[in-house]
Amino acid sequence: MRIGIVGGGGRMGQMLIRQVARTEGATLAGVTEREGATSVGQDAGVLAGLGPLGVAITTDTAALFAASDAVIDFTSPTVTPLHANLAAQHQTALIVGTTGLDEAAEEALAVAALSVPILQAPNMSLGVVLLTELVERVARSLAVDWDIEIVEMHHRHKVDAPSGTALALGEAAARGRSVDLADQAIRSRDGYTGPRPTGAIGFATMRGGDVIGDHSVIFAGQGERIDLSHKAQSRDIYAVGAVRAAQWCAGRGPGRYSMIDVLGLGQ
């Protein structure tokens, strides 16, 4: 399978290059970066510490989509609509790990999914996918008087909060309770807030150091508590999941998919 990578010059992009190169049945179709990036013109393999692969990093995103069976995107929400349009135009599956998407980006993905497979996940970690499924099942099983709190911590450079993964966990809890997260979420607390509303789904965000990503979902009842947690110890887990998702898209029809589908948990 020919897999392309947009934003290949960054830390995540280099991990994706290495993962594609080491994955049986996968070929690196191309790598792009933004205009002016220092990595443009370099051999992708050399940049990723693998040695020459014969794939130069370019700025021609359209050519990348034309040459690929699937493209993996962990870049910026501002370019998601462009990538979605290119995916539809060139009949290329798109794997989206970018978080913080606005309404325009989501709409562009929805339109592209009418023509090609669009696999979107706020976290490509297989462990987080399982955590999300567990959260939904536990929320479905417990009464509404069990309080739900989602706690996440990431490195000091992360720009969005709560994290996309934390919000996805909140959505899972809301699905389990058959409620709308927007109606139940408490995303910040400060000052004299009064007692906790019954049924609320709370979020707590921490930033600092080089933490890759820690997520915990706490179900707090009277006299007992259930903690479900995932701690990322290497960013490689995201690359492994993303390449697996790209290969899973081979032969799939148009539509919107998630990592739940990749693991067969949505059946």
Selecting among 83, 157, 158, 215, the annotated active-site residue is: 158
What are the φ and ψ backbone dihedral angles of 94, each rounded to 5 degrees?
-125, 125
Sheet strand arrangement including 27-32: 57-58, 27-32, 2-6, 70-73, 93-96, 117-120, 255-257
Residue 154 annotated as catalytic: yes
Q: What is the dihedral of CA 56, 59, 62, 65, to 10 degrees?
A: 40
Neighbouring C-beta atoms of residue 26, cutoff 10 Å: 19
Selecting among 83, 90, 154, 155, the annotated active-site residue is: 154
Q: Looking at the annotation, which residues are catalytic?
A: 154, 158
